Amino acid sequence: MSRAPALPSGRWHAAEAIPWLLAIACFFLFPGYRVLASHVFIAALFALSLDLVLGYAGILTLGHAAFFGLGAYTAGLLAAHGWGEPFSGLALAAAVAALGGLAVSFLVVRGTDLARLMVTLGVGLLLYEAANRAAWLTGGVDGLSGVAMGKLFGVFPFDLFGNAAYAYTLAVLFALFVFTRRVAASPFGLSLRAIRENRARMPALGAPVERRLVAAFTLGAAIAGVAGALLAQTTQFVGLDTLAFHRSADVLVMLVLGGAGRLYGALVGTAVFMVAQDRLAGIDPVYWQFWLGLLLVAIVFVARGGILGAADALRRRLRR
């Protein structure tokens, strides 16, 4: 019998150490950018959660910020009402976001791409308006202030320079990346890819497609909730923009820019997007919006698979 070719093994490649070592090195190399860096890590985690939903399971969503915001408000409200312990806040935020994701998932898994798009868009807008109107709870347009965080492990306070935030967000990102990576290499991850490739064929293998998609969507929502909670905890503030449509659109762009359906796409795309935004939007926000639009059009027409997809194609050409 011939030898079986490689399957997703979840084994680590040496090159995979590079981004993480780089992330640690940045702490020392660019001390002035620690706050920005923690925002990049949070956005990367958010993009990673979308990768699970869109990149792996193939569910098109325009309302992923709903779960980011749910997590952010959960963690923020907990801390504002005296529960400042960060890790339990994260866990509760994940649970609330997962519950929200579970509820929405039943509307999402059945429909066509268009129905999914409308439902996710609608739920996102609905939550945004709900938070906007429920000012007694959320602070409305002024945002939720009075978020008083406890110390990490009861020892390290969240400081203005983002030192604790840097370590905290990077550690949570890494932990959930390892988890997501494991899920992606598992039979469950394989079945999600198969659903993305050919949904109609899956029932003929005996696969309960809707149940799988519910699981994937809920898991993605939970991780998005953790990302939102991280933002609330490290900035000690929750604004309405955590639920805004542009956040859903931005995270979509970050993921597609890096390359959807490959875990590192979420990290690379986010880093490039956030740094570019920091540089360009500072100069002129209108130009930034224009270039962002052009970038999207360009990705669709010339660079499918994003940065990592293009890198793969280049590597294949060089090898030949």
Asked if residue 117 binds other proteins (CB under 8 A), the reply is yes
Q: Which of 259, 260, 273 is nearest to 311 (CA)?
A: 259
Of the pair 112, 316, the CB lying nearest other proteins is at 112
Asked if residue 140 binds other proteins (CB under 8 A), the reply is no
By CB under 8 A, name the one of 160, 200, 283, 302 that touches other proteins: 200
* Radius of gyration (C-alpha) of the chain in whole angstroms: 20
CA angle 296/23/284 to nearest 5° reads: 40
Binding segment for other proteins among 34-42, 71-79, 205-213, 227-235 (CB under 8 A)? 205-213
Give 53's DSSP letter: I
Asked if residue 292 binds other proteins (CB under 8 A), the reply is yes
Q: How many CB atoms lie within 10 A of CB 204?
A: 8
Structure-token pair, residue 140: 């409305």
Asked if residue 299 binds other proteins (CB under 8 A), the reply is yes
By CB under 8 A, name the one of 19, 174, 188, 303 that touches other proteins: 188
Of the pair 214, 232, the CB lying nearest other proteins is at 214
Asked if residue 1 binds other proteins (CB under 8 A), the reply is yes
Give, as ranges, the residues between 75 and 114 that touch other proteins (CB under 8 A).
107, 110-114
Binding segment for other proteins among 14-22, 77-85, 116-124, 150-158 (CB under 8 A)? 116-124
DSSP conformation letters of 98-155: HHHHHHHHHHHTTS-HHHHHHHHHHHHHHHHHHHHH-HHHH-GGG-B-------BTTT
Of the pair 82, 206, the CB lying nearest other proteins is at 206
